[in-house]
Amino acid sequence: MLDRLKRRLGLSRPDRSEEKKLASDGSVPDRMKLAKSKETSPDILYYLAEHDEEASVRRAVAGNSSTPLQASSVLSKDSDIDVRLALAERLIHLLPQLSEDKQSQIYTFAVNALGALALDEVLKIRVALSSALKDHAHAPPKVVLQLAKDIEREVSEPVLRYCILLPDEDLIEILKSHPASWAVSAIASREKVSEALSTAVYETEDEPGTLALIGNTGAEIAVNTLTSIVQKAKDLPDWHKPLASNPHLPPELAKEMAFYADQSVRDILLERTDFDNREIGDISKAFKRRLAFLEEEDSGKTTLERVQEAHAKGELDDEFIMDAIGVRDREFVEYALAAKAGVSVEDVKKVMELHAPKPTISLVWKAGFSMRTALAVQREIAKVPSAEIMNPRGGTDYPLSKKELEWQLDFLGLS
């Protein structure tokens, strides 16, 4: 005890010749004693890490707090799995204090060794690293990114879902690389998801991932993205309830859902406390109009008769057309456009078959409907590609001038 105290105080220097002899020629128990001792010199521990043939000795060296971190590069490539695991455990334990000086050579040794372990061919080692680093406050960004890109689900999924150190830029890049569906869902389920990241999740066109996104109350979703999701949800009933409960759903889109969602979804929408009384009233009316429209469909009248009757009563307004679009009565919309624009339904069908924005909105303009209706007709009837859809100018106005609209109609032979 006295000798050890003297050594710590610098009052004496131990003779390392005996250590050297034991390290090179000693028995396994002798070498194990050296490997475990905190008093063994760093040089001897490095020597054991590099040259000892007994795996149990090297494991002891890997876990010894006195082993110099320079030895990590050797131990991270050790042939024994347990040696590499012991090294990983020690390095992760040291990260908080090493992170205080990220410019130091010692920190670099540790990070490089963890990086090598993150690429280890043995799955068990990568899984252990992922489990330990997924929510570690001092996890090296370079290492967690490597783990996040791992092709094995057991490795990457926990990091993708829980590691707050992964920046949006890296996560978006991963999403652009067409990952497996479970990876998209993991990112979509993170505790906090920014608007940019939410958009990237949706743009993967992964349905389970989008479902996870809209059910995540911590995900911020841009209105444009939500609008597209609400449109796509018409064909995906599993999306309806989480969408109706999503805290970012604006009342206008809730109203749009009223044209295709069922009674249980209606109840969720009408019970929301973040909508005011007027907005709740509008949603309720939209549900009632939809039911009335569906009842009219079952009346036995032909579509042409229904359009002619509504036209004669002056009911063919924007809301009526939006109701028809909402319940996907394409034929009614086409006949209504023809009646209001004073053209044949065949002409309307030809315009819709162009799948082009300018001819479509020009026809809707001629029929006297708003740009809001023109936007819906582009999406739902003309099936204009999303990237080509023309949006309202200033939120409400037609994006083309009167002269441009008339030119389109003249070119189509509909002026």
- Among 213-217, 261-265, 351-355, 381-385, name the one with the lowest average pLDDT: 261-265
CA distance linking residue 60 with residue 52, whole number of Å: 11
For residues 380, 381, 382, 386, the Cα torsion angle rounded to the nearest 10 degrees is 0
Encoding tokens for residue 141? 């960004």
325-336 pLDDT, tens digit each: 888 889 999 999
Q: What percent of the chain has pLDDT over 70?
A: 96
- Residue 190 CA to residue 172 CA, distance in Å, equals 13
Structural Rg of the chain based on CA atoms: 34
Structure tokens at 127: 């899984």
d(CA 188, CA 214): 9
Both tokens of residue 162? 């829980």
How far is the C-alpha of 332 from the C-alpha of 320, rounded, in Å?
A: 10
* 203-252 tens-digit pLDDT: 999 999 999 999 999 999 999 899 999 989 988 999 999 999 999 999 99
Q: Residue 8 pLDDT > 60, yes or no?
A: no
User: Would you state the structure tokens that stand for residue 160, as one six-digit string?
Assistant: 């993708």
Which residues have C-beta within 8 Å of that of residue 98, sequence separation ≥ 6?
104, 106, 107, 110, 138
Give me 201's structure tokens.
């999740």
Nearest to 377 by CA among 342, 415, 340: 340
Q: Considering only residues 411 and 15, tell me which one the structure prediction assigns the higher pLDDT.
A: 411
**pLDDT for residue 381:** 94
> What pLDDT score was predicted for residue 4?
46
pLDDT at site 6: 38
What does pLDDT average to over the chain?
91
Lowest pLDDT segment from 31-35, 96-100, 106-110, 125-129: 96-100
What are the Cα distances from residue 392, in Å, to 19, 371, 400? 82, 6, 9
| Torsion angle in degrees (nearest 10) through CA of 271, 275, 278, 283 | -60
Question: In this predicted structure, what is the pLDDT of residue 256?
Answer: 87
Residue 33 has pLDDT above 50, yes or no: yes
Residues 88 and 94: their CA atoms lie apart, in Å, by: 10
State the Cα torsion 96-100-105-110 to the nearest 10°. 10
User: Quick one: pLDDT at residue 7?
Assistant: 40
Query: Is pLDDT at 299 greater than 80 in this prediction?
Result: no
Provide the residue ranges of all domains of the chain, joining segments of one domain with +: 305-412
Q: At residue 407, does pLDDT exceed 50? A: yes
Q: Is the pTM here over 0.95, yes or no?
A: no
* Residues forming a β-bridge with 119: none
Are 183 and 174 contacting, i.e. CB atoms less than 8 angstroms apart?
yes
- pLDDT attached to residue 47: 95
The average pLDDT across 140-164 equals 97
Whole-angstrom distance, CA of residue 239 vs CA of residue 250: 16
pLDDT of 15: 56
Q: pLDDT tens digits for 248-294? A: 999 999 988 988 888 899 999 999 999 999 999 999 988 888 887 77
Q: Which of 99-103, 153-157, 200-204, 301-305 has the lowest mean pLDDT?
A: 99-103
CB neighbour class for 178 (10 Å; exposed up to 12, middle 13-18, buried from 19):
exposed
Place of tokens 């001819």: 359
How many angstroms separate the CA atoms of 36 and 374, rounded?
Answer: 77
> Which pLDDT value is given to residue 112?
95
| Predicted confidence (pLDDT) at residue 58 exceeds the cutoff of 90 | yes
pLDDT at residue 11 greater than cutoff 50 = no
269-275 LR contacts (CB < 8 Å, sep 24+)? 269/244, 274/247, 275/251
- Residue 69 and residue 109 in contact, taking contact as beta carbons nearer than 8 Å: yes
